[in-house]
């Protein structure tokens, strides 16, 4: 993996910050409600930006949110032109990030397994003390 240069890291962070504000303040699509930008990766030539999105709502669907954001990408890119002091605003490509949903699912599985173990231990007369 190529070394990430400080300028690229600054641009990634700046784009992430500005997009989060734009999505919150400018977009009214219900599919993007509760969206979190988990990462922004601008290509070395600054022509493309890959943005990963997660949805924190319990019924959130990151793929649907990404599709809605890809539809709004031209509008968001235009708004970024007014906010960023860089020569070329990259093309925006949003991708769903199911990491939060996967973590929640694993946490539920672990919690259920522990509860089942406690139930079996109680049935056998064992205690944790």
Q: pLDDT by residue (tens digit) across 64-104?
A: 999 999 999 999 999 999 999 888 999 999 998 877 666 67
98 contact partners, CB below 8 Å, separation of at least 6: 54, 62
What are phi and psi for residue 105, nearest 5 degrees? -60, -45
pLDDT in tens, 11-28: 999 999 999 999 999 999
**Residue 69: both structure tokens together:** 């954001």
Beta bridge partners of 93: 50
pLDDT in the model for residue 23: 95
| Helix axes of 6-26 and 62-83: crossing angle, nearest 10 degrees | 110
- The SS3 assignment for 99 reads helix
Pairing state between β 48-55 and 35-42: antiparallel
Compute the distance between CA of residue 9 and CA of residue 4 in angstroms, rounded to an integer: 7
Cα separation, 48 vs 92, in Å, equals 6
Give this prediction's pTM: 0.72
Residue 18 and residue 84 in contact, taking contact as beta carbons nearer than 8 Å: yes
Edge-to-edge strand list for the sheet holding 48-55: 35-42, 48-55, 91-96
């Amino acid at each position: 993996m190529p070394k990430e240069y400080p300028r690229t890291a600054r641009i990634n962070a700046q784009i992430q910050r500005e997009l989060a504000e734009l999505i919150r303040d400018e977009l009214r699509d219900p599919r993007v409600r509760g969206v979190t930008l988990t990462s922004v990766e601008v290509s070395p030539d600054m022509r493309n930006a890959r943005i990963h999105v997660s949805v924190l709502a319990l019924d959130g669907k990151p793929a649907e949110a990404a599709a809605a954001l890809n539809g709004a990408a031209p509008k968001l890119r235009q708004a970024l032109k007014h906010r960023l002091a860089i020569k070329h605003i990259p093309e925006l490509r949003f991708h769903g990030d199911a990491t939060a949903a996967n973590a929640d699912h694993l946490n539920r599985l672990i919690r259920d397994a522990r509860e089942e173990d406690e139930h079996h231990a109680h049935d056998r007369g064992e205690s944790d003390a």
